[in-house]
Structure 1
Amino acid sequence: MQLLRRGDSGPAVEDVRETLRRLGILADTPQGARSPGYFDADVDHAVRVFQQGRGLITDGIVGPDTARALREAGWSLGDRLLAYTVTTPTSGDDVAMLQERLLELGYNVGRPNGVFDQQTETALVRFQRDYGLTPDGVCGPQTLRALRQLGRKVTGGRPGLLREQELLRRAGPRMRGKRIVIDPGHGGADRGVEVAGVDEANLMWDLARRLVGRMSATGMEAVLSRNEDSCPPDAERAQFANDIGADLVVSLHTDANRSMHAQGLATYHFGNGSGATSTVGEALAGLIQRELLTRTAMLDCRPQPCTWELVRRTRMPAVRLEIGYLTHIGDRRKLLDPEFRDVVAEGVLVAVKRLYLLGQDDQPTGTFTFSDVLAREYGRDQISAS
């Protein structure tokens, strides 16, 4: 789609203004002002407010993610029939409201991510069957009335978050037997950020291979989300992780900025700004951030919530790493160094191990090594013998 930014005009801008107005973020266009199809300073500010509240990059530009979020924000529960469709799953704030309500009633929809998927349909069918409704998996008027009449069954916390934490606890401290998807950003014809003959896709492919090798050595099943010459959409990468039943997803990217001074490391996890979040994803993002900062001395751009497609559509905790800025000469030099990429791979591996240790029998940040992890997995005698 065409990117919309300050100074643009046309019907698409008018639609954005109308959506922001209905959401109460933008005031009505006053008499005598510019055309409602003009992207002025007020629209720019309103878009940034909307982006910040939705876990999107706060740049004032209406790109694919912001346009999708604006469309979804226009729906409230009851505005339309909701049902599962295989090819293009329905998404919107109304779906998120339905998921939250089903969770309150004790039905497992997973994370309330606003996407009507098969797990949501299964939970809805169980609710309908339990309450004597036609179990057709369609949220229509009768189902809505039943949902609104019933009180909460689950109290004392957000049930989706508690369920995710319990799954982590039950998984145990060993990495062996767990499945992780490593997602190198971009690929194929999409090279991502390109600066001075260096491109993001190649760097992240190399880093992903290093990480897969280390993860596999611990006994984890490490799987790449794409081939070297392909670039699946983020929704397809998320579906791949869901289909194979991955335990975790780690997505690898670098960043760019018009300012040559922008630099640093950031990690992202699912969080929509209104309470829905992945607590385990947030924990993993924090662990990776701390490990890599200690090992690389990069600038700290902090862990942050987001609603990007990959972390939103995955049913397991997913984290996206933005490892430096290729537009910053210092970060670029680091990323071009194979030894630096080895350091990053080890840091991510250690952070995943720390996640499963749940703080027990741990070591100070930055001191845990690849050999230490192997020793924990296989026993020190076996590692020494090898």
Structure 2
Amino acid sequence: MKTKIKVLVILSAAVFGLFAFKSLDTKKLIIIDAGHGGDDHGTTVNGLQEKIIVETIAKKIKAQNKSDNLEIVLLRDGDHSMELSERVSIINNLNPSLVISVHINASRDVTKNGVDAYISSNKAFYDQSKESAEVLMEKIGTEFLVKGTVKEAPFYILKNSNCPAVTLELGYLSNQNDRNYISSEKGQDEIAAKILEAVK
């Protein structure tokens, strides 16, 4: 519990400091939620772990951001476990313009591939979430990652975040082409750049 409080205090202080010299009205805040972490590896294929890939991409999004009008906050900055309720608590405390929960898919059907997006049926943020999801899909869906569809899902973070929220499944580790792309530095750099472009 002390660790959770410490993380929340540090994040809140960091964001307060970031906004200290820039009006909240002109600064756009985007939270990137890298899924899993710690003992929760997520999908694992051929030694590649979802938690590591999505954290790497999240850090690249933040590093690539050079805009004074956009702030990227990483919900999980490091390989540690976080409860879903803890993540939502931080999200709702910071009140971002959008939260993007980043994951990677897997299937027994190795031909399944491409990027998919999920949103909540929550009417309060449905239109904004759907619009954001569609823009993200348009940017990320390329010859390397086939564009999938925007679907509704009752995921905890989507349901309980008091802001527009999108879960992105950035391809399938079980598919060789997707796996080669999302595990490569080139692929991760490109995905990060496309996500950043979509939220500007």
Normalized against structure 2, the TM-score is what? Answer: 0.81
How far, CA to CA, are the matches of 1:298 and 1:181 in structure 2?
A: 23
Q: Please, which of 324, 335, 338 is the counterpart of residue 171 of structure 2? A: 324
User: How far 1:312 moved relative to its partner?
Assistant: 1.0
CA contact (8 A) 1:238 1:311 kept: no
Q: Residues 118-165 of structure 1, C-alpha deviation per residue, up to 9 Å, x if partnerless?
A: xxxxxxxxxxxxxxxxxxxxxxxxxxxxxxxxxxxxxxxxxxxxxxxx
Q: Flag the structure with more relative contact order, 1 or 2, with Cα contacts below 8 A and sequence separation at least 6.
A: 2
Q: Please, which of 105, 126, 139 is the counterpart of residue 278 of structure 1? A: 126
Q: Please, which of 78, 88, 94 is the counterpart of residue 238 of structure 1? A: 88
CA contact (8 A) 1:253 1:320 kept: yes
User: How far 1:304 moved relative to its partner?
Assistant: 1.2
How many residue pairs get aligned? The number is 175
How far, CA to CA, are the matches of 2:189 and 2:133 in structure 1?
A: 19
**Counterpart code for 1:262:** K
Structure 1: where are the runs of 5+ without partners? 1-174, 354-386
Q: Please, which of 173, 176, 195 is the counterpart of residue 348 of structure 1? A: 195
2:67 — aligned with what?
218
- What is the DSSP-based 3-state SS (H/G/I as helix, E as strand, rest coil) of the residue aligned with 1:203? helix
**Counterpart code for 2:149:** R
Q: Please, which of 135, 138, 143 is the counterpart of residue 287 of structure 1? A: 135
**Counterpart code for 1:218:** S
How far, CA to CA, are the matches of 2:127 and 2:92 in structure 1?
A: 18
How far, CA to CA, are the matches of 1:195 and 1:210 in structure 2?
A: 22
1:266 — aligned with what?
116
CA contact (8 A) 2:55 2:76 kept: no
In terms of fraction of residues, the more strand-rich structure is 2
1:114 — aligned with what?
none
CA contact (8 A) 2:34 2:74 kept: yes
**Counterpart code for 2:79:** D
- Which one has the largest radius of gyration? 1
1:179 — aligned with what?
29
CA contact (8 A) 2:116 2:149 kept: yes
**Counterpart code for 1:287:** V
User: How far 1:176 moved relative to its partner?
Assistant: 5.9
1:338 is the counterpart of 2:185 = yes
Structure 2: where are the runs of 5+ without partners? 1-24
How far, CA to CA, are the matches of 2:71 and 2:141 in structure 1?
A: 26
| Identity in percent | 29
CA contact (8 A) 2:135 2:198 kept: yes
**Counterpart code for 2:51:** A
- What is the DSSP-based 3-state SS (H/G/I as helix, E as strand, rest coil) of the residue aligned with 1:183? strand
Normalized against structure 1, the TM-score is what? Answer: 0.43
Q: Residues 168-192 of structure 1, C-alpha deviation per residue, up to 9 Å, x if partnerless?
A: xxxxxxx961111111110111110
- What is the DSSP-based 3-state SS (H/G/I as helix, E as strand, rest coil) of the residue aligned with 1:301? strand
CA contact (8 A) 1:180 1:246 kept: yes
Q: Residues 261-309 of structure 1, C-alpha deviation per residue, up to 9 Å, x if partnerless?
A: 111110111216xx67611010000000011114x44223211122211
2:153 — aligned with what?
306
**Counterpart code for 2:134:** G
How far, CA to CA, are the matches of 1:276 and 1:264 in structure 2?
A: 29
User: How far 1:251 moved relative to its partner?
Assistant: 1.0
CA contact (8 A) 1:176 1:218 kept: no
How far, CA to CA, are the matches of 1:245 and 1:288 in structure 2?
A: 20
How far, CA to CA, are the matches of 2:73 and 2:140 in structure 1?
A: 22
**Counterpart code for 1:196:** N
How far, CA to CA, are the matches of 1:236 and 1:257 in structure 2?
A: 28
How far, CA to CA, are the matches of 1:305 and 1:212 in structure 2?
A: 27
